[in-house]
Amino acid sequence: MPGKWRGTWPPICRTGSADAAVRRHCIVLESAGCGFRCRAEQFVDAPDEHRVLDANDYSGCCYGSCTHVWNYEQATAFVFPSLARSIRESEFLRNTAENGQMAFRTYLPDGKKIWDHAAADGQLGCLMKLYRDWQLCGDTEWLRRLWPQAKKALEFAWIKGGWDENRDGVAEGVQHNTYDVEFYARTFLPPCVVSSVA
């Protein structure tokens, strides 16, 4: 597989130190632990409960395209931009409830059932990635299609008892996060999320 997808890189990225740099950032895409289901230009990580990015030796864990785990990965948007945009479509169009709560894991088939838990870092990170992906592609119609659900996802942070009920950019509410625990402390929301509402 690596040889096939490396062939899609621009020529400058396939030589010398550029090749090594690109490979370092794309290692998660190349690893055996990362399962993809690509059909009709759609990307979903971990097609079943036992093939996962961070599995232990005995059983799978963290099934579904876990929003707060994938926030650490940035290469897909630059190497496979249409796949990155398909992830945003899944997150906002098929995995965000009407109240703005975004599932931080994706069940398959995508959108048939929505995971009933939100992760503050995952959900707010998806908003930042939506902005990044729009900046990379420049497709304003694509952004307009996702915007109503993106707006609801942001407003979810402000609900009564939510992450940032008083809208001051400091999360005081309970925040599920990438450690799969709840934070109960005052934490700052990412600056670009705060600036997007200013």
φ/ψ bin of 41: left (φ > 0), alpha (ψ from -120 to 50), beta (otherwise): left
Q: Judging by DSSP bridges, how do beta strands 182-183 and 175-176 pair with one another?
A: antiparallel
What's the rounded Cα separation, in Å, for the pair 36 and 51? Answer: 9
pLDDT tens string 106-136: 777 777 777 788 888 889 999 999 999 999 9
Closest CA to 132 of 83, 81, 188: 81
Instruction: Look at the alpha carbons of 185, 54, 19, 4 in this order and tell me if their dihedral is positive or negative.
Output: negative
In the chain, pLDDT over 70 holds for what percent of residues?
A: 61
Determine contact, residues 19/10, Cβ cutoff 8 Å: no
Strand partners, 183: 175
pLDDT tens string 132-178: 999 999 999 999 999 999 999 999 999 998 888 898 888 888 888 77
Q: What per-residue confidence (pLDDT) applies to 53?
A: 39
Match 């509402």 to its residue by tokens. Answer: 197
pTM: 0.74
Rg (CA), the chain: 17
What's the rounded Cα separation, in Å, for the pair 154 and 150? Answer: 6
Question: Of 63 and 119, which is predicted with more confidence?
Answer: 119
Q: What per-residue confidence (pLDDT) applies to 19?
A: 64
Q: What per-residue confidence (pLDDT) applies to 150?
A: 97
Maximum Cα interatomic distance, the chain, rounded to a whole number of Å: 53
pLDDT tens string 11-57: 656 666 666 666 666 655 655 445 454 445 555 554 443 333 344 44
Q: Give Cβ neighbours of residue 191 (< 8 Å, ≥ 6 apart).
A: none
Question: Of 116 and 10, which is predicted with more confidence?
Answer: 116
